Chain A
Amino acid sequence: MSELEQLTEAIRKGDRKQAGQLTETLLDAETDLEQVLGAMVTAMDDIGAKFQRNEIFVPEMLIAARAMSEAMNLLEPRLIAAGIKPKYTAVIGTVQGDLHDIGKNLVAMMWKGAGFKVVDLGTNVTPAKFVEAAREHTPHVIGLSALLTTTMPAMKSIITALREAGLNGSKVVIGGAPITQSYADEIGADAYASDAGSAVDVVRQLVAA
């Protein structure tokens, strides 16, 4: 197994220490940076696919994401120094009134694992803050998360605020336990993602469209 393949495997297994060591070895050997990134993306794609098939669950996904972060923290400065920027930017947040962050964090990790720049606005994010972030970062996608049935109506307010501000360049994807495709259609979201694995497929389709 090549060292790149070993890095993919270490992230898949969630072996943080090994993922870090392999990344250092690869960087010291002046491996092509895009290839190192590619090895990480391959691992997280595999994690996302297995998650969607109910073969792995939140614990395995979290552990893999932590291993990926370990590797990414080493790679990122080198990418910046080499002038390699993420092709796509995503803004994400849990909507106003909702303090739940597990789902939002999982999606943010998976988007990072897919090579996106991710701007995480945290929880309890107002429509005004989403508008501000959309202006500042001109993201390709904006992700809205809600766990509570009582807070999901805030998604509609955010989409309205973005449209009223003329920020139509960013595609809005929504998700969370009570969210459905029909709700996404009803409030005019561009897409719905049923879980953190499919959230990657969904935004890849959105940015390719």
Chain B
Amino acid sequence: MIPTTYYLALSAILFSIGVIGVLVRRNAIVIFMSIELMLNSANLAFVAFAREFGTLDGQLMVFFVMTVAAAEVAVGLALIVAIFRSKASIDVDAVNLLKG
């Protein structure tokens, strides 16, 4: 049986790749995909812990995270489409009307 730590290490690596993706990439869709990667790395951690403990809470949480991620996709893609319609670009550096 594969030890739980291996799964956790993989999930930490995936999470870090996601964070780096969000910070480095400039395309809104790719940033969004990186965020999904972070959510799924958390799912992997949940499942790994749930198998280790023999409880169901972690597996349950995964379903909620997937549902919420789906809802976020629906809203997020709609926003990105709206931006693309008015700017013909989804580069986040082009979205700079408001100075922060």
Report whether chain A binds chain B: no
